[in-house]
Structures are given as structure tokens and as C-alpha cells.
Structure 1
Amino acid sequence: MNTYECDVVVVGAGPGGSMAARYCAEGGLKTILIEKKAEIGAPLRCAEGVSKKWLQEVGIEPDPSWIRGDMKGAIIKSPQGTTFQLDESKAGAEVGYVLERHLFDKALAKKAAEAGAQIMLRTSATGIIREDGKIVGVKARSMGEEIEIRAKVVVAADGYESQVGRWAGIDTTLKLSDIDSCIQYRMCNIDVAPDYCEFTIGSVAPGGYVWIFPKGNGVANVGIGVMGRLCKGDGDAKRYLDDFIAKDPRLNKGQCLEIMGGFVSTCPGLDCSVDDNIVLVGDAARIIDPITGGGIAHACRTGMYAGKVIVECAKSDDFSKKALMAYEKMWRDRMEDKLYRNFMAKEKLASLDDETIDQLIQMIKTADIGEVNVYNLLKAVKEKFPQVVEGFEDLI
């Protein structure tokens, strides 16, 4: 059996894994980044929408090669047809890009490689290696061969399934209310606004929403997320999405070029995302926006934080849970309040009927909101519909 030696092994070459590998390698650590798939970023499991404002924060320069659409704004709709349109003058940096996600992921992995990380494709982690109770690496299968990768610290960036964290003894289980069942079609021959993302909430997508993310030339990602505890049968997400498309004349003559499905977590992060010699980042740590299900920004941030903390830990050769808690503090200081606030908002929105949602959107349309973001929207909602924010008023 081949054995590889390194300082850091990162499992998963999505945004969180590539960012962690990049910052570890830039800090001079011998870093191995493994990815179970044959191609980084494919097959697609993402709606491909991101805001702009966080890219600079994590050292990512926007690149036309992976930006498919530069959005002017967004449109929020109720099932009854009430719409609220916001553009860059209102939404500022919350307005974003629609990506070519597979190219975006490859670009991040390329940065990691340029920093010195070694990338191994078709390499699946199969277990944790422990010696005297201490994590010392991972077992893996690479191109059909059983291997060991020995490292001082493991970064689990293996997404929603999060096997590495579970093998390490970290509880990553989720409640049904904290899981969204999702399906998305890449559709052509449709007639939607080319530079506005659309979100429809309410009974058309119980506990979640329908999205339309345009990609130009009559092509868009059209998808849905439905809260797990509100699914009543197999294939509910597809049924809701098909019904929505059939009733929308802009979409119902379109054709599917691609179908993807999966699950996303919508809780506000794990109780703790580190242990001795292991760090969980991004979706593996359940660090994802509970109200939107968006995880790219959170993965990039947590990957960067993990890399920076691991580099500091290497200076004293201490990768204990106590030393790695600096990562825990870093991401919580930056994101925890917002994640919890959005988690509570998600729970409340799931309980509202269509009439109330329609009234909310009507109210938002006429409210004097300087910059439109989730925080300011909730502030406006608090004044007119205090019951919607009951239980988390202190975060608004």
C-alpha cells in the first residue's frame, strides 16, 4: 500500500477545500488536496448564484472566464403574483453573479496548485487513520488503489454528506426541518429577464423557494428547494417544480439541457466544527445560509480561515482541539449571528400562508429601505409584522 506524507490533507476540492489548501500551501505547509470525482466542479450540484461583496474578502479576483451573468438585481415574488424588484442602487453588493460553477471551482483549485498544493483526482477518502486514539491522516482509494495519506491535520471539506466528520466522531446529523430537497433544470428556449435573478416563495415551494438564475441566450437555471419536513411523498420537489414551470408561459415551452438534484442543510452550523487534528469547513460543517441555502461564500470564508489557523498552529506544532478553536472563533465572530438570524427567519417563513407572504411583499415594496438585504428587510418586517420575527428580535 502506498503511503503519502504531508502536513495537511484536505478532503474535497470544492470551494472550501480549495481555499483551505491554497492558504495552507501559501503558508509553507505540505498540502495534499483529494477529490473523489474525475473533474473538479462537475457534475454540477449548485444553483450557481453568488453575491459580489465577499470575493475581495477572501482574495478572489472576479474573472470573466467563470462569470456567466452579471446581474442588475433580483425579483422577489409571491404565489399570488405580487413582485418586488430591486436593482443595484438598492441592493448594492448583494447583487451578484451567475457563475459557470465548474470553471469557478477549477479556478480555485488552480490557485491552490499554484501555491504548492498537490491535487489528487479520483481519490475518495474511505476512513480516518488513528494511532493511540489520535487522528494521523485518512485512508483513501485512488484510481482503484488503496492508499494512506498521513498528515498532522485533516480538513474535511466533503460537503453535505460529511463522512469524514462523522468518521472522526463529530455529530453532523440533521433534522428534517434543516434539510431542503432540491432539484434544478438547466433550461433553454425560455423567455426570462436576462439580468435579474428571480425568487418565488410560498406554497409553490413549501419552506423554500423557486429560483430562476439567467445564463443568457434564453438559458437559465430553474430550480426549487422544499423543506424536508414539508415533503409529503417521493419526488415532491420535482412535482412542485414541474407544476410551477407548467403554469409559467415564459417557461412551459422550454426544454431541459441538464437535471441535477440533491439536498442542502439549512441549520446555522454545527455546535463545534473542530476536534483534535481535524477541521470541518463549508457544507461539511453545516455552515450555509439557512434562508437561501447558499454556501459558496461560506465555504470560501471558512476554507480561508481554516488555512490561516492551521498555518499558525504549525508554528508550535499544536493541532489540538484547543489550538484549532481559533478557527471556530473566527468563523463565528464573522457569521454566527447572521446565520442564526436567518435560521430563525427561515423557520418563521415556513409557517406563513400565501396571503401573509403576499402582504409582506406588498409592505416591502412601499417601505423606505435604504439598502436591501436580509437584515434591513427583517427590520421593516419587524415594524409591520412583529410575529414573523418573534423569538429573535434582539438580532434585528
Structure 2
Amino acid sequence: MKDRYDVIVVGAGPAGSIAAKTAAEKGLDVLLIEKRQEIGDPVRCAEGASKIYLKNHVEIDKKWICADLKGSRIYAPDGTLIEMAEEISGGEVGYVLERKIFDRALAEKAAEAGAEVRVKTRATDLIIEDGFVKGARLMHLGKKYEVRADIVIGADGVESKVGRWAGIDTALKPADIETCAQYLMTGLDIDQEYCEFYIGGKLAPGGYVWIFPKGEGKANVGIGLLGSETGKFKPRPIDYLNKFVEKRFPEGRIIEMVLGGVPVSGSIEKTSTNGLILVGDAARQSDPITGGGIINAMDAGKIAGEAAYEAISAGDVSEEMLEEAYEKRWRTTVGHEIDMSLVVKNCFINLDDEALNSLAHSLKDVKFERMLLLDLLYALFKANKKLLWDLRVLFKDAAKEVAKNKL
């Protein structure tokens, strides 16, 4: 390992690998580190990603596709079904990935672009001088390294330390975190072309249960609950999940389990400072409604890699420069979608099962194929007039969508 690079990327998930790949393609000398010995393991999500947006970053390889979905099915507390086509089902519906293969493939692409990849290497601290991040202190196979760089990109996940070391407030309240449990199950009788979502206070308070097919009778079956809905005297996510599995898949068999947390807080105040950029879950860039973050992470990672090149080329890695090159760009694209999702999350999170059933009844006969946002809002308002006020900010987006489609 050298003692200096242009860019150090901490974390080899989708955000980190795309950032490293983008920066390396621009000709920068990049070090990409991952604290675990295997990239992509353990899997910490349902593994769903939109086909359209995924193709913006990589050429699709069948080796890391488990299922090709047609859409999603959402079940209200009383069992009312709403079926949505893939195109309007959100950023998590399209392909179900094999993340253990997918994440490694992204890291390989970063390496092919020229980045140096080091596993079993963790950052223990940042080098900060005169108010600027100047590199990182690393530990690799028991040996300590002090490695300097013009920019450090923190892609170290929901538990990110990189941002805190640089003085960025990344604290999350319990209500800002989805605590999750997931089984990989086999022997399931399910439709492999649709993912399923189950909502309701008794089933998953402040969250939902998901089923993402993985082919050959397998699926990721998981649950996410708001942190505020779990605690010392409340059932754990795994307890709710076990209850669901016992009822829905009595003959199913569990072959893997994963536990973790996902930020659903919406945008934090800042994601960059002198010599530092945060991306992915470290920057709280996951969707506040679903907790999904693969596509957002890749989008932000690309912007971060481009911003690093622009800043280093200009000889200016100050907070002001990175705000222009990174902050403003991701906030007007990825960030805008996150902000709109947060509005919806805050509106729906307090609806009881009766209200959710009412909404489902108003939508069950709607053909969800290529519906405009305005159409969806109108259908919702028929069931709950209060939503007209709570979701008023979305009308601006709906109006823009209508105008765009008329051009």
C-alpha cells in the first residue's frame, strides 16, 4: 500500500465502488478499502433494484440476476391487494440481485478502471490538518498505515464513523432508523415474477414485510420496523418476522439470516466538508419510505467521483468547492426524490389499519401501469381528504410531470 493517493474511498458497497470507478476513469489514483474480507458479504438488504436505473451505471450481467420482476403486489391489513407494474413500483423493483456477486462485480469494475482495492482494511481515524481532511489512518492485517489523499470519500454505511470523525452530524433518532430482520428461505410456493409487500400495525408497526423472489422457490423474506416501535418492552423485528413466516410459509425452510438497520431520516444537513465527501447510507441517501438505497447510492457515488475529479483538478478541495461540485448536484437529483419520499413517509406513518384499508379499497380497481403522480394523488384523496393537505407539496411535482408529458 502506498503512502499517498488522490482519493481514498472507505467502503466497497455500491456507493463506494461506483465512486472509486468514476474517479479512476477520470485518471485519479484511487484506493478503495473494505473492512470485511469478502465484498458483498453479509448481504444487508432485500436486493431489489430498478432495471432502468441500474442500466445507467452498468451493463447487466445475468450472473448477478436472481429474478426478473414484472411488478409488485401490496397487501393492506385486511388483505386487499393492489398490483403495480414494474415501471411505477419504485427503485427497488425490477431485478432481484445476488448482492454477493453484484457488489464484487462493481469492485472489479473499479479495479479494472485503475483503482487499487484492499479488503480486510479498515479506517481507524482521519488525518486532519488545518481544518482539512488530508487522508486516513488504516489497519490492514494487523499493520497500521498512515495514508494521505486529497479527498476521502466515506461510503462506510449506516454505522459510518468517517463523517463523525470529520465533525459532520450523522446522528439518527430511533424514528429515523428502520431496524430490519431478513431470512433467505427455500421451499416457497410464490410467484417468482412479483415481489410482495405487507403493511399494517399488527403485522409491522411503522414498517412493512417484504418478499423478494430469488428463483427456484427461494426468496428474501424480511421486515423493517421504525426504531421507535422497538425497544425493551416491545417485540423485536425478528419476533414479528417469525410470526409472519409461520403463517405465510409453514413449510418453508430458512437457510440464511441477516439483521441490520437502514436510515430513513431523509437528507442530513451536510454531506461534505474540507477534503471529505459522504455517499450512500453514510450520507443517509436511502429512500425514507422503503429503506432501499442501491440506486441512490450508485447515483450519488458517480456524482462523488466526478466531484472529486473536478475539485482535485482545480486544486481546491474546500467545503465551498465540494458544495458546488457534489452537494448541490446530488440534492437536486437524488436528494429531491428523497425529500418527496420523506413527505409521503411522514404522512402515512401515522395512519391506522382502518385508514390503510380505506386507501387500499379506493385503489384496488385502479390500473397501475404507467399512472401519473397526479392520478395517484387523486385516487388517494377520494379515500382520505386529509391527504389533500398533508401531501400538498407533491402537487408541484405532479404539475411538472403533467406539463412534461404534454410537451
TM range (shorter): over 0.9
2:314 to 313, 316, 332: 316
The one-letter amino acid of 1:153's match is I
Partner of 2:246: 246
Inter-CA distance 181–378: structure 2 relative to 1 (3 Å threshold): farther
Partner of 1:5: 4
Partner of 1:268: 266
Partner of 1:86: 84
1:296-375 paired onto structure 2 within 5 Å: 296-325=294-323, 326-367=325-366, 371-372=370-371
* 1:208 aligns to 2:211 (yes or no): no
The one-letter amino acid of 1:238's match is I
Distance 2:153 2:235 in 1: 34
Partner of 1:109: 107
Q: Is the 8 A contact 1:349 1:388 kept in 2?
A: no
CA RMSD of aligned residues (A): 1.9
Distance 1:179 1:93 in 2: 19
Distance 2:374 2:106 in 1: 30
Partner of 2:24: 25
1:157-168 paired onto structure 2 within 5 Å: 157-168=155-166
Which deviates more, 359-368 or 276-285?
Answer: 359-368
Q: What secondary structure, in the 3-state scheme, does the structure 1 residue paired with 2:139 have?
A: strand
Which deviates more, 384-393 or 258-267?
Answer: 384-393
Shift in Å, 1:369: 5.2
Inter-CA distance 363–386: structure 2 relative to 1 (3 Å threshold): same
Inter-CA distance 90–291: structure 2 relative to 1 (3 Å threshold): closer
1:280 to 261, 278, 284: 278
Distance 1:56 1:333 in 2: 21
The one-letter amino acid of 2:376's match is L
User: How far does the alpha carbon of each residue in 1:242-276 deviate from its partner, in whole angstroms, 9 at most, with x for none?
Assistant: 1111222xx12111100000000001121110100
**Number of equivalenced pairs:** 392
The one-letter amino acid of 1:343's match is L
Q: Is the 8 A contact 2:154 2:279 kept in 1?
A: yes
Inter-CA distance 194–373: structure 2 relative to 1 (3 Å threshold): farther
1:224-235 paired onto structure 2 within 5 Å: 224-233=223-232
Q: Is the 8 A contact 1:91 1:371 kept in 2?
A: no
Inter-CA distance 163–374: structure 2 relative to 1 (3 Å threshold): farther
Partner of 1:151: 149
Shift in Å, 1:376: 5.5
Distance 2:337 2:91 in 1: 17
Q: Is the 8 A contact 2:158 2:284 kept in 1?
A: yes
Shift in Å, 1:88: 4.4
Q: What secondary structure, in the 3-state scheme, does the structure 1 residue paired with 2:62 have?
A: coil
Distance 2:186 2:67 in 1: 15
Q: Percent identity?
A: 45
Shift in Å, 1:136: 0.7
Note the residue ranges of structure 2 that are not aligned, 5 or more in a row.
396-407
Q: Is the 8 A contact 2:185 2:256 kept in 1?
A: yes
Distance 1:89 1:177 in 2: 30
Partner of 1:258: 256
User: How far does the alpha carbon of each residue in 1:80-116 deviate from its partner, in whole angstroms, 9 at most, with x for none?
Assistant: 1111122347759874000001111011111100110
Partner of 1:53: 52
Shift in Å, 1:372: 4.7
Q: What secondary structure, in the 3-state scheme, does the structure 2 residue paired with 1:279 have?
A: strand
Partner of 1:181: 179
Q: What secondary structure, in the 3-state scheme, does the structure 1 residue paired with 2:222 have?
A: strand
Q: Is the 8 A contact 1:122 1:142 kept in 2?
A: yes
Partner of 2:33: 34
Inter-CA distance 376–212: structure 2 relative to 1 (3 Å threshold): farther
Shift in Å, 1:335: 2.4
Partner of 1:385: 384
Q: TM-score under structure 1 normalisation?
A: 0.94
Q: What secondary structure, in the 3-state scheme, does the structure 2 residue paired with 1:104 have?
A: helix
The one-letter amino acid of 2:11's match is G
Note the residue ranges of structure 1 that are not aligned, 5 or more in a row.
none
Inter-CA distance 376–215: structure 2 relative to 1 (3 Å threshold): farther
Shift in Å, 1:191: 1.1
Distance 2:48 2:374 in 1: 19
Q: Is the 8 A contact 2:170 2:268 kept in 1?
A: yes
Partner of 1:141: 139
Inter-CA distance 385–220: structure 2 relative to 1 (3 Å threshold): same
Inter-CA distance 60–314: structure 2 relative to 1 (3 Å threshold): same
Shift in Å, 1:373: 7.7
Q: TM-score under structure 2 normalisation?
A: 0.92
Distance 2:373 2:61 in 1: 27
Distance 2:35 2:42 in 1: 12
Inter-CA distance 89–51: structure 2 relative to 1 (3 Å threshold): closer
